[in-house]
Amino acid sequence: MKKKAITVDCPNCHRSIVWGDEYPERPFCSKRCKDSDFIDWANEQKTIPGSPSYDDIFSEGDPDLY
Ligand SMILES: [Zn+2]
């Protein structure tokens, strides 16, 4: 039985990666992209009125989280 590799595009840099243990940060190609995307996401959240601000999330968060 032939196993078909599933590929996904990294949401940050849009590089195609194989969905598997080779990329533990999937759907991101690397931890670097994963962290970068999160920062973008946090910045976007900051611009939405009525949402918890970036500062609130990080000033009140558990410091051991990172
Ligand atoms: Zn990437």
Query: Model confidence over 13-53: pLDDT tens digits?
Result: 999 999 999 999 999 999 999 988 767 777 877 775 665 55
Where does 7-61 sit in CATH, by number? 3.30.50.10
- CA-CA distance, 10 to 34, in Å (whole number)? 9
- CA-CA distance, 27 to 41, in Å (whole number)? 15
Helix locations, 1-66, DSSP H = 31-46, 54-59
Identify the pLDDT of residue 58.
59
Ion ligand 1 neighbours (CB, 5 A) are 10, 12-13, 29, 33
What is the 28 CA–ligand 1 centroid distance (Å)? 5
What is the 64 CA–ligand 1 centroid distance (Å)? 26
3-class SS shares of the chain: helix, strand, coil, % to 5: 40, 10, 55
Identify the pLDDT of residue 9.
95
